[in-house]
A and B are shown apart, each in its own frame.
Chain A
Amino acid sequence: MNTCKFEAQIDDYLLNKLSKIQAEKFEDHYFNCASCFQLMVERDEVIATVKLKGEQIFSDLKSESQTIRLPWAERLVGFFSPKQWAAVTLSAALILVVVLGVIPQFKSSAPQFQLDDTIMRGQTLTLISDAIPAQFRWEDLGENVDYKITIDNHVQLWTATTASTYITIPDEVKAKMKPGVKYFWQVKAFSKEGSLIAESSKVQFSLSD
């Protein structure tokens, strides 16, 4: 339901809490807004009665210090209206979804292997000549690490494990690789106990025709 924006000022006007300018604006408004005037008359009656008969009406409350102190849970519930609680719940749910669902996607991925520029250029590599690089290189992850390199074109072509930060492709593997075919290579790092420590992104390359 649409309500006039001046409605919120009715109580303040009747209780003389508006500044002179605000009061004048409000007065001008209620001379022009029948609904605000009607509401103000109704509220004035209630406030007037409260002022006149407050002692009687609030005799059970007696004094400010004896005003009801609600338990903390009830006060917490009362802090928001049902609509606001619904909004708070929805927001909390959204935040939870973001925290549990989206953020893990952005968590720091396994260390990226730094590839030797002379050998690999970016994520997609087309070699300039039909020569297959003699070596694939990656960044050193420290001692006691084994690196497992895999080359595939959706079907594993070759895999090998080494403790070095480079590997040379054997001739028999080179012989299997054909120009124009897309191949992928990837390196995974394992601890000596065999646990996966890190893995590189899968890098695509092909030999020129």
Chain B
Amino acid sequence: MAGQGLANISSNHPRASKSKLVNQEHHFYNVDGVAKHTAHDLDEIIAKYRPIVSFRVKKSLGSYTPDWEDVVNEIMLNALEKIESGKFRGDSSIGTFIYTITSRRIIDYIRKKSKYLKYAPEPNPYLQPHEHVENKERAEMIAKYLERLKPKYKEILYLYYYKELSREEVATKLGISPRRVSERVNYAQKLLKKMMKK
């Protein structure tokens, strides 16, 4: 879980344990002595990017992969260390910087696994979204709302999401334009969001 992951980072990181990060607003310094980031900054970075990194890792490795949380921890730790040591110079956005670290780590992980399992197929980097579903109760709730949608919205989600037809194929099937397909899918999503908020 995400919270546990944060604890893992804290325990592995000599200078950035969570309690220190929150309680002491001290600065991290580069070799040149210029203050770069406060502990509060790093805390914010963890809070902001850990869910994004987790999403990316789970999408690539699959949430069934037991190591996914370790991979996320390693990425966050690596990113924090680089930021702290001034290796992140702000040439790109911090988001792009963390994305690059994440992508490299995922590739490394897949390569390592492929090495051990010599004849195993290369892991599919893009796994099906349903592998992310963890909260069964929430899934039940969404399913209930999906069932309540008007037929024209249900039908479009069935063809586009469930059958995974292209927009053009769905458009041909329903006799509407591809643009209208996208609009109808978006509207169905909005309706669901509205229902879930009630």
Q: Contact residues of A with B, CB < 8 Å?
A: 8, 11, 14-17, 23-24, 27-28, 30-32, 34, 37, 40-54, 56-58, 60-61, 64, 67-68, 70, 72, 75, 78-81, 84
Contact = CB atoms under 8 A, between A and B. Distances in A.
Given A24-B103, A57-B147, A64 B176 contact: no
Contacts of B28: none
Given A27-B56, A46-B161, A57-B147, 11 more contacts: A32-B99, A48-B130, A48-B132, A50-B146, A53-B139, A53-B143, A54-B162, A68-B155, A70-B174, A78-B180, A79-B177
Nearest to A51: B130
A122 B46 CA distance: 85
Contacts of B146: 46, 49-50, 53, 57
B177 to A, nearest CB: 6
Interface stretch (B9-17, B31-39, B90-98, B112-120): B90-98
B79 to A, nearest CB: 11
Given A58-B162, A78-B174, A80-B180, A31 B129 contact: no
B183 interface: yes
A163 to B, nearest CB: 63
Contacts of A58: 154, 158, 162
Contact of A70 (B131, B147, B175): B175
Given A11-B185, A56-B143, A67 B99 contact: no
A34 B152 CA distance: 31
Contacts of B140: 53
Nearest first, the 6 A-B pairs at minimum CB distance are A32-B95, A51-B130, A31-B95, A75-B175, A31-B99, A16-B126
B180 A81 contact: yes
A54 B179 CA distance: 24
Interface of B: 48-49, 51-52, 55-56, 93, 95-96, 98-99, 102-103, 126, 128-133, 138-140, 142-143, 146-147, 151-152, 154-155, 157-164, 166, 173-177, 179-180, 182-183, 185, 189, 192-193
B142 to A, nearest CB: 4
B180 A41 contact: no
Contacts of B164: 15
Contacts of B48: 34
A17 B168 CA distance: 13
A37 B55 contact: yes
Given A14-B129, A57-B146, A58-B162, A31 B96 contact: yes
B55 A78 contact: no
Nearest to A64: B163
